[in-house]
């Protein structure tokens, strides 16, 4: 099936076009001088100026960033610990695996309404930051565990044994050998958790409190009343540009690291 790779390449290119067309259109239309998102009438930066003046948007952006940061930290720490817990066979591992994959099969709307009922009727947790954090960690955890666990499973246990033979205590061995080996997966898990939280609409829309609305929920509420504001399109463009820049920087750093490969990396590669 690879006798004609250009056919496959063309299909892959078309899928890439499908992925990028809407994003590029958004970027273009954010410089439109009218409110229309479908027809460009002239170019201006007025929506960017209005965005910077809109305190409600900036406030909810601040809350969303703090929430995503907190959610990423909590889910990465306890998720990484869980991934190490699942490393070796022990009685009950199957049950834990089922529990940990449960968040992946609960649709967001179900998690949202369940937590709404739980916070309001049973636990007495006020809606807002705390409730949002509880939900975001709950649906991000599995992704962190999946990513880190894959890395932990692929690790050569002889490296840690070697560290122990060379006189390193368990803590030193963990810090100098194990941690550097799993660090990329932990970072990937944290990034995943951050973005899942940052982008969440459905679950969050049930749990925001008065004065603690996350950006996606704010945008959704606004848009269902009077359509999308071009300000929001401008903000989205900035966010996409930032994430793309971060990703490109990440790829470049990773490529550079790979070239000047580390000591641990070189052992691993052999």
Partner 1 sequence: MSRTRRRWLVATGLLTPTGLWLGAFLIAPLVLVVQFSFATRDTGVARAVLPWTTQAYRTALDPAFLPIFGRTLAYAGITTALCLLLGFPLAWFIARHGGRYRTALLAAVLVPFWSSYLARVYAWKALLDGEGLVNRLLGAVGLGRDGGFLLTHGAVVVGLTYGFLPFMVLPLYVACERFDHRLVEASYDLGHGRVSTFVRVVLPAVFPGVLAGSLLVLVPAAGDFVTPRLLGGVDQSTFGSVIDDQFRGGNNWPLGSAMAVLLLVLVVVVLVLRGRRGEDVL
Residues 84-123 that bind partner 1 (CB under 8 A): 84-88, 90-93, 96, 99-111, 113-118, 121-122
The answer to whether 124 contacts partner 1 (rule: CB under 8 A) is: no
- We find the least distance from the C-beta atom of residue 55 to partner 1, in angstroms, to be 20
Give, as ranges, the residues between 132 and 161 that touch partner 1 (CB under 8 A). Answer: 134-135, 137-138, 141, 145-146
Nearer to partner 1, 77 or 166 (CB): 77
Three-state DSSP state, 4: coil
Query: How far is residue 149's CA from residue 85's CA, in Å, rounded to a whole number?
Result: 9
Three-state DSSP state, 8: helix
Query: How far is residue 133's CA from residue 204's CA, in Å, rounded to a whole number?
Result: 9
Nearest Cα to 216, choosing from 34, 224, 29?
A: 224
The answer to whether 1 contacts partner 1 (rule: CB under 8 A) is: yes
H-type alpha helices, 30-54: 46-53
Strand partners, 32: 43
- We find the least distance from the C-beta atom of residue 120 to partner 1, in angstroms, to be 8
Give, as ranges, the residues between 16 and 75 that touch partner 1 (CB under 8 A). Answer: 16, 18-23, 25-26, 29, 36-39
The answer to whether 260 contacts partner 1 (rule: CB under 8 A) is: no
- We find the least distance from the C-beta atom of residue 20 to partner 1, in angstroms, to be 6
Token pair for 4: 């004609």
């Amino acid at each position: 099936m690879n006798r004609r790779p250009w056919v496959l390449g063309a299909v892959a290119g078309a899928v890439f076009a499908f992925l990028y067309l809407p994003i590029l259109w958004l970027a273009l239309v954010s410089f439109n001088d009218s409110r229309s998102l479908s027809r460009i009438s002239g170019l201006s930066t007025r929506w960017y100026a209005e965005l910077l003046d809109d305190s409600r948007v900036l406030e909810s952006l601040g809350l969303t960033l703090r929430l995503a940061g907190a959610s990423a930290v909590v889910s990465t720490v306890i998720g990484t610990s869980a991934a190490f817990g699942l490393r070796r066979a022990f009685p009950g591992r199957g049950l834990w695996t089922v529990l940990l994959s449960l968040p992946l099969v609960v649709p967001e709307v179900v998690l949202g309404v369940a937590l709404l009922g739980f916070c309001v009727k049973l636990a007495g947790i006020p809606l807002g930051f705390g409730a949002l954090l509880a939900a975001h960690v709950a649906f991000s955890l599995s992704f962190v565990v999946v990513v880190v666990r894959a890395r932990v499973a692929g690790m050569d246990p002889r490296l840690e044994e070697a560290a122990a033979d060379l006189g390193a205590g368990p803590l030193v061995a963990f810090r100098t050998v194990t941690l550097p080996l799993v660090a990329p997966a932990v970072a990937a898990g944290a990034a995943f958790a951050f973005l899942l939280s940052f982008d969440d609409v459905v679950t969050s829309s049930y749990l925001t409190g008065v004065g603690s609305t996350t950006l996606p929920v704010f945008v959704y509420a606004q848009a269902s009343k009077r359509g999308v504001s071009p300000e929001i399109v401008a903000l989205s463009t900035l966010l996409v540009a930032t994430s793309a820049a971060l990703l490109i920087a990440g790829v470049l750093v990773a490529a550079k690291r790979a070239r000047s490969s580390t000591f641990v990396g070189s052992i691993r590669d052999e």
